Amino acid sequence: MTTEALASPQIPTRGLLSRAFAGRSGPLAVVCLVLLVLWYLGAVWLNAPVLIDGYERRDVDWTFSQLAGDAMAMERPILPAPHQVAAELDKSVLGTKITSKRSLVYHAWVTLSSTLLGFVMGTVLGVVLAVGIVHVKTLDRSLLPWVIASQTIPILAIAPMIIVVLGNIGFTGLVPKALISMYLCFFPVTIGMVKGLRAPDPLQMDLMRTYSASTGQVFRKLRWPTSLPFLFASLKVAIAISLVGAIVGELPTGAQAGIGARLLVGSYYGQTVQIWAALIVAAVLAGLLVAAMGGLERLAARRMGARP
Amino acid sequence: MAVEAAMQRERAAQAPAGEAGNAVIEVDDLSLTFETADGPVYALSEVNLTVEAGDFVSFIGPSGCGKTTLLRVIADLERQTAGRISVNGVTPEAARLARAYGYVFQAPALYPWRTVERNVMLPLEIMGLSSSERKERAARYLDLVNLKGFEKKFPWQLSGGMQQRVSIARALSFEPDLLLMDEPFGALDEITRDHLNEQLLRLWERTGKTVVFVTHSIPEAVFLSSKIVVMSPRPGRIIDVIDCQLPRDRTLDIRESQDFAGIAHRVREGLRAGHSYDD
């Protein structure tokens, strides 16, 4: 951009680039580019010692460009280069039948299904607990401390053991993993909803009282709508940790299926490229899930007449 | 217990409110003390008051004189600590359960996720009216407060004065005989306020409702009321009750008249007397 363009920002014929930088896509692209460059540099730097070791053992002369080239083409690099991961993704996402056990789409689906099941169960549990806590004084005093204490258990650390124990008593497949997810994601929902259901201001509550509204009517017509923004904020957190729970739950399943299983197999055989590909898929999945919650939130906000 | 409540409700609902000389609200030696960490606060002290059917009664006084508290006791939003009060011949609680009054708060207290129309329908939904009846009433009362055409708007799309008119339509929609208004126009500019005062007066004249109105504006009280209750703070008590027999079809011009000035003067004197007590 020239100084002239800066001085007169109203000029209608702006280029693609300046429009991109007026929004979010431009800065985002720059950040991605910087990360990519850092990744390449990191790949060379981390893989170099192994390679140099090899060169010296075989007594070959090497140049930096040779080192850089080799560092990005190793079969089992410490840190694979982005294009290696991209190639692996291409092979295992697009190049394989999605029903095959080599397809990352298949594994992502396995993880996604338990994520969603756990998320739904956790959300329902979280909302039910919050409704109880807000309406019943005894529950308020007795339950909330336990809800908070529940999260002090390092569930991620003992999740594999829980899966094994549940497996031994006959629970296998989707449900045990979903239980881990549920355990993680009911918490933000409960905390958010307790706050949300108590968010109506005193005047709005007084109004309901002047109508002699029943507790159920106050809930449906005032507390619930007031709490929705809080619910959606909680759901965004909940769905992301629900995915984490599902992946951790997959680690001890005997490496059958799911992104977690894929990570485990990768680390057994030192297949770092495969691990990174699985990580990328997990990250994309998490991003999509959170974005979906954001979409739902906007939809609800529009229906509830929120200011645009 | 339930039977008793039902009977009270019936009595409250049957209590005639349109006839003159019929006490709608009777307050007898009523006191209310709030217990706070800094010791008791005497919000109301030995208040006696009768509001007749068809009256337009204003409570006027400085901040902290208990006028809002008294209104809230009538509405069963607070409980007195001593004395007796009856609304439509029953306790405030029974009157509230019988939905005997409509309450207009200082702020519009509209639900932001509901359209104007659905805000007006809120009490009707709670009281279980049919959807066609709800629609018809919302249209009628929005028309009454001159908000026809704004049915589908959301509250944030309306000015403060329009929002307060919606809240008045909401209080009228279930057709209570008693209207309790807590400084409904306090936050509005003077031009809007004058306009709404005139509309409210026309409404009162036309419907014959009993209105209890809290304000701290002397002209507003004199212009609107048939009876002005002057209150003073610490402890909140009534120091004067002034009959205000200006004609019911008065217009804003009456504020220039001698009668108006005379009543306003008496109110001001009363307020001043209440204050000197304080120093």
Question: Is residue A17 located within the same domain as residue A165?
Answer: no
Question: Is residue A67 located within the same domain as residue A172?
Answer: no
Question: Is residue A290 located within the same domain as residue A160?
Answer: yes
Kindly report the three-state secondary structure assignment for every residue of B133-195: HHHHHHHHHHHHCCCCCCCCCCHHHCCHHHHHHHHHHHHHHCCCCEEEEECCCCCCCHHHHHH
Domain that holds residue A142: 104-303
Does B42 touch chain A if contact means CB atoms closer than 8 Å?
Answer: no
Q: Is residue A150 part of a domain?
A: yes
Question: Is residue B73 located within the same domain as residue B158?
Answer: no
Question: Is residue B51 located within the same domain as residue B118?
Answer: no
Residue A243's pLDDT is 93
Confidence label for A128 from pLDDT (cuts 50, 70 and 90): very high
Strand partners, B27: B49, B85
Q: Is residue A7 part of a domain?
A: no
Domain that holds residue B44: 2-12+22-100+176-276
Nearest alpha-carbon partner for B245 in B215, B275, B222: B222
Strand partners, B181: B104, B213
Q: CA-to-CA distance for B161 and B232, rounded, in angstroms?
A: 29
Nearest alpha-carbon partner for B187 in B215, B166, B212: B215
Q: What is the average pLDDT score of chain A? A: 86
Residue B1's pLDDT is 46
Count of domains observed in chain A = 2
Residue A119 clears pLDDT 90, i.e. is over it: yes
| CB contact (8 A) between residue B126 and residue A203 | no
Q: What is the pLDDT along chain B (279 residues), one digit of tens a residue?
A: 455 555 555 544 444 444 445 788 888 888 888 888 888 888 888 888 888 888 899 998 888 788 888 899 998 998 888 888 888 888 888 888 888 898 999 889 999 999 999 999 999 999 988 999 999 999 988 988 888 889 899 999 998 888 988 998 999 888 888 999 998 888 778 888 888 888 888 888 888 889 999 998 888 888 888 888 888 887 888 888 888 887 777 878 787 888 888 888 888 888 887 765 444
Question: Is residue B35 located within the same domain as residue B159?
Answer: no
Residue A5's pLDDT is 45
| CATH code, B258 | 3.40.50.300
**Averaged over A107-123, what is the pLDDT?**
92
Hunting for tokens 């011009």 — which residue is that? B253
What confidence tens digit (pLDDT) does each residue in A182-202 have?
Answer: 999 999 999 999 999 999 999
* Omega of the bond leading into B123 within 30 degrees of 0 (cis): no
Of the three residues B149, B175, B201, the one that is the final residue of a domain is B175
Strands B39-52, B210-215: pairing is unpaired
Q: Is residue B17 part of a domain?
A: no
Question: Is residue B120 located within the same domain as residue B254?
Answer: no
Does B123 touch chain A if contact means CB atoms closer than 8 Å?
Answer: yes
Residue B18's pLDDT is 42
Does B93 touch chain A if contact means CB atoms closer than 8 Å?
Answer: no
* Shortest distance, CA B9 to any CA of chain A (angstroms): 12
Residue A12's pLDDT is 56
Residue A59 clears pLDDT 90, i.e. is over it: no
Residue A10 clears pLDDT 70, i.e. is over it: no
Min mean pLDDT across A94-98, A131-135, B150-154 is at: A94-98
| CB contact (8 A) between residue A209 and residue B77 | yes
Determine how many CB atoms are found less than 10 A away from the CB of residue A158. Answer: 13
Tokens representing A40 are 């390449």
* B263 alpha-carbon distance from chain centroid: 21
Residue B15's pLDDT is 46
Residue B279's pLDDT is 44
Termini Cα distance of chain B: 49
Q: Kindly list the residues from chain B whose CB atom is less than 8 angstroms away from the CB atom of residue A300.
A: none
Q: Kindly list the residues from chain B whose CB atom is less than 8 angstroms away from the CB atom of residue A209.
A: 76-77, 96
Residue B275's pLDDT is 65
Nearest alpha-carbon partner for B149 in B124, B115, B177: B115
Between these two residues, B39 and A240, which has the higher pLDDT value?
A240
What confidence tens digit (pLDDT) does each residue in B31-41 have?
Answer: 888 888 888 88
Question: Is residue A110 located within the same domain as residue A253?
Answer: yes
| CB contact (8 A) between residue B156 and residue A307 | yes
Question: Is residue B268 located within the same domain as residue B159?
Answer: no
What confidence tens digit (pLDDT) does each residue in A194-230 have?
Answer: 999 999 999 999 999 999 899 999 999 999 999 999 9
Q: Is residue A1 part of a domain?
A: no
Determine how many CB atoms are found less than 10 A away from the CB of residue A13. Answer: 4
* Shortest distance, CA B151 to any CA of chain A (angstroms): 13
Count of domains observed in chain B = 2
Residue A302 clears pLDDT 80, i.e. is over it: yes
**Averaged over A10-18, what is the pLDDT?**
65
